[in-house]
Structure 1
Amino acid sequence: MDNHDYSNYQVKFISETPWKNGFRHEAEFITNPPSPLIFYCWSHEDYENAANKAGLKHFEWRKPMIMESDIERYPPGFWDNHQNNSWEVGFMCQF
């Protein structure tokens, strides 16, 4: 994740700290009151190795899926950061 500004999507990143060969992120959804969120990220290689170790095949990375109605509801470029620099982990594979 290169850009931690997710205010467009109502998420505020608070901290990023190294954790077990990856990162631990503290964030909060911008609600009233704020809703805390902790999540962990590792490298693409780590996720792929874990999938292979679990016996999953045909691993393919995926960008976040956004409904067409949501794309149309916002100005052009609104979803670019979310799709190109997402904190979500999306992939497909087969068992």
Structure 2
Amino acid sequence: MRFLGPLKEGCRGQVVLHLPDGDIDFETYFLPHAGYERAAARSGLVLQWIPMEISQEDVEAFGPGFWDAYRRNPSTLAFRATRQ
């Protein structure tokens, strides 16, 4: 992901996924956890953050050190929203 301005709430970013059948690119926006949590709370929801896991197969496929930067600062997360 490449951010197209200072990294602050609402900053636009560009993502390029390199896939076997061709690249996919799209724009996204940086929203800190607090922004999602505020919106969820206003809707009567509670968020549970779920970190993405790297499979052992991918660890072995890409070798030592490949995933270190991602593990320190993951760029993707998922969340589960439930009613309060």
- Counterpart check, 1:85 vs 2:73: yes
Q: Which runs of 5+ in 2 are unaligned?
A: none
SS at match of 1:90: strand
Residue in 2 aligned with 1:42?
31
Tell me by how many angstroms 1:26 deviates: 1.8
Structure 1 stretches (4+) deviating beyond 6 angstroms? none
State the one-letter code of the partner of 1:44: H
State the percentage of identical aligned residues: 28
Q: Which runs of 5+ in 1 are unaligned?
A: 5-12
Residue in 2 aligned with 1:7?
none
Give aligned pairs, total. 81
Task: State the alpha-carbon separation in 1 of the partners of residues 26 and 51 from structure 2.
Answer: 21
Task: State the alpha-carbon separation in 1 of the partners of residues 26 and 77 from structure 2.
Answer: 15
With normalisation by structure 2, the TM-score equals 0.65
State the one-letter code of the partner of 2:71: Q
With normalisation by structure 1, the TM-score equals 0.59
SS at match of 1:60: strand
Residue in 2 aligned with 1:52?
41
Tell me by how many angstroms 1:79 deviates: 1.6
**Alpha-carbon RMSD:** 2.8
Residue in 2 aligned with 1:72?
60
Q: Is the 8 A contact 1:64 1:83 kept in 2?
A: no
SS at match of 1:47: helix
